[in-house]
Chains A and B, each alone.
Chain A
Amino acid sequence: MERAALPGRLSWQLGEIVTLRQETAQAKSLTLSVPQWPGHRAGQHVDVRLTADDGYQAERSYSIASPPEVSEVTLTVERIADGEVSPYLTEELRVGDLLELRGPIGGYFVWEARQGGPLLLVAGGSGIVPLMAMLRHRAAAGSHAPARLLYSSRTFEDIIYREELDQQAIADPDLMVSHTLTRGQPPGWTSYSRRIDLDLLREVIGPPDSHSRAYICGPTPFVEVAATGLLSLGYPAERINTERFGPTGGA
């Protein structure tokens, strides 16, 4: 392993918005150019800080959606109706605006292609973001690590990155993507239509082998159901990585 220089303490940097992309009605991707960006690993996040005219500051953490292979940093933000930060990020920011951020953060929820698979991903709502960074990294690295994603969303229209996931799954026989919709299904929907439970995990994710590593991300209640379920299926606790977003309802 290459010995890297001391990273230094994390400090706030300014990133410039270069691209905005509406992913779904509630979710928007912000791509930033960050001049001193040291690079990141798939699964890491940044802290974002907003400062009001009166000096009031609010900080929130957002997972990085872009893979390490891309130098610009993309965050996908879900607009929370009574949020302090997300309405600003999803509605007010324009290309050219600056955003204060600190990162990359979190070596504990990271997957690198050289780790190999099987890679098991379980996403609830906007919990897909860091897992998408992992899948994008997996594709960019040309990895054939077997990977499965179980992605829970409210409705078909709420599925973030839906087309990109379809394309990846079609092109890659080692990647399996399964969706479950919890609040409404479009006509002709043949995939799952319920909140995740042990049976769903058993069918989609399956039992572990000696190298399996699972990553679960989403609202806290979702993560706890998924983590408990994977433990029941025999996944060792140290092979289950979780990133809880907090207690909101989610998918």
Chain B
Amino acid sequence: MPSTDMPPTEMNGNPPPRESADQHLDGNAAGGVLGAIFPFEMTMAMATCSGCGTTNPLGAAMAYVYGMGTILRCRTCDTALIRIAHIRGRYYLDLRGMQLLQFSEETPSA
């Protein structure tokens, strides 16, 4: 898994933070990259954490967004549920942090 040690970026054009203290975003911030990979509404996908066993929507996870990738962490135990890197036309997904991922094939109509 390539390292993603670039500083996190944010919503709304704000510059990256200087310190790497707990500066996470909400799971929705990963919705773009997840939606580019999976043809489903993934922020509503339910993930069962391998670390603590709780099941929550990905939208409720903590998103760490870096230049080359995104990490979604379990809000309860901080386990990395999903690590996604997107480098030179390849996606790398580490899904070990989830025991189970489930989502609906239906999208709520707009």
Residue numbers of A with Cβ under 8 A of B are 1-4, 6-11, 38-41, 45, 47, 59-63, 68, 77-80, 82-86, 89, 102-103, 105-109, 126, 129, 219-220, 242-248
A109-B28, A247-B23 in contact; A78/B108 too (CB < 8 A)?
no
Instruction: Select one of B17, B43, B105, B109 contacting A106, CB under 8 A.
Output: B43
The stretch among B31-39, B47-55, B77-85, B93-101 that forms the contact with chain A is B31-39
Residue numbers of B with Cβ under 8 A of A are 8-15, 17, 23-29, 31-32, 35-41, 43-44, 57-60, 105-110
Across the A-B interface, how many residue pairs have beta carbons closer than 8 Å? Answer: 142
Cβ–Cβ < 8 Å partners of B32 in chain A:
10, 47, 59, 61, 102-103, 105
Q: Report yes or no: B15 in contact with A45, Cβ–Cβ below 8 A.
A: no
Query: Which residue of A is nearest B105, CB measured?
Result: A6
Task: Give bound CA distance, A61 to B37, whole Å.
Answer: 17
Which interface residue of B9, B31, B60, B107 has the most chain A CB atoms within 10 A?
B31
A10-B35, A107-B44 in contact; A78/B110 too (CB < 8 A)?
no
Q: Report yes or no: A108 in contact with B17, Cβ–Cβ below 8 A.
A: no
A105-B32, A109-B26 in contact; A61/B110 too (CB < 8 A)?
no
Q: Tell me the smallest distance from the CB of B75 to a CB of chain A, in Å.
A: 9
Instruction: Select one of A80, A107, A242 contacting B13, CB under 8 A.
Output: A80
Which interface residue of B8, B9, B26, B60 has the most chain A CB atoms within 10 A?
B26
